[in-house]
């Protein structure tokens, strides 16, 4: 549905790193949710604006700018800040979708604010917006095995086997959670989609 360029009332920011070398990695869980959202809603997030690939859509009664920042993870706030200033979007209407190593692979956690939890993308957004009072959907990517990985190597590692199945399911649920959060509110989204582990049991 078309609408005026300055009528956007929400930003949905899917975090990840651009480029083929990062596709399918844990740090790109947010981009996986963006791709799931694109498939579900027939929206192509490809227009380059605000140092991001973007698209616009309507969820419920709200006009939304979808964003995949192309700044690399640690500078995600630069893209978010540009769009938020242009559209005069308050932090509580900046919904961020990111990976979370504190959750098992496939889990989802929805919050209306909070610390960065060591996540550099969220940390940069907090710095640019000047507050941590913005909502986020965090997708579980699992913690590194003890003694097996440095953290940077872990978040840039790819999903395999059951983990790949679980994160694909989480991406679909995160896409649905974005729509629910904006169209129906935070409480309903939390009650419906927050879960510590994937629904499907491992074989």
User: Which residues, listed in sequence order, are joined to residue 13 by a DSSP beta bridge?
Assistant: 67, 96
Architecture of the domain made up of 10-193 = 3-Layer(aba) Sandwich (3.40)
Per-residue DSSP letter, 143: P
Q: Which are the contacts of 110, defined by CB distance < 8 A and separation ≥ 6?
A: 135, 136, 137, 138, 177, 181, 186, 189, 190, 193, 194
pLDDT in tens, 60-109: 999 999 999 999 999 999 999 999 999 999 999 999 999 999 999 999 99
What is the model's pLDDT at position 149?
A: 76
Which among 27, 41, 146, 160 is annotated as catalytic?
Answer: 27
Long-range CB pairs of 141-145, under 8 A, 24+ apart, other chains included: 141/26, 141/27, 141/29, 141/99, 141/100, 141/101, 141/103, 141/105, 141/167, 142/26, 142/101, 142/103, 142/104, 142/105, 143/101, 143/102, 144/101
pLDDT in tens, 103-142: 999 999 999 999 999 999 999 999 999 999 999 999 999 9
The answer to whether 27 is a known catalytic residue is yes
Q: What's the predicted TM-score (pTM) here?
A: 0.93
User: Do the strands 10-14 and 108-111 form a parallel or antiparallel pair, or are they unpaired?
Assistant: unpaired
């Amino acid at each position: 549905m078309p609408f005026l360029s300055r009528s956007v009332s929400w930003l949905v920011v899917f975090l990840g790193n651009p480029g083929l070398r990062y596709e399918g990695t844990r740090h790109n869980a947010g981009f996986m949710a963006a791709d799931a959202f694109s498939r579900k809603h027939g929206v192509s997030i490809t227009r380059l604006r605000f140092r991001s690939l973007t698209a616009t859509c309507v969820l419920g009664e709200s006009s939304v700018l979808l964003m995949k920042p192309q700044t690399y993870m640690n500078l995600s706030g630069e893209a978010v800040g540009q769009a938020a200033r242009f559209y005069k979007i308050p932090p509580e209407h900046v919904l961020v979708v990111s990976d979370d190593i504190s959750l098992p692979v496939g889990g989802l956690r929805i919050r209306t604010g909070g610390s960065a939890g060591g996540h550099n993308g969220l940390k940069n957004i907090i710095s640019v917006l000047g507050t941590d009072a913005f909502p986020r959907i965090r997708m579980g990517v699992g913690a590194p095995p003890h003694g097996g990985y440095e953290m940077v190597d872990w978040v840039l590692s790819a999903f395999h086997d059951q983990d790949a199945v679980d994160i694909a399911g989480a991406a679909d649920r995160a896409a649905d959670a974005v729509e629910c959060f904006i169209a129906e509110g935070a409480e309903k989204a939390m009650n419906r989609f927050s879960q510590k582990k994937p629904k499907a049991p491992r074989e």
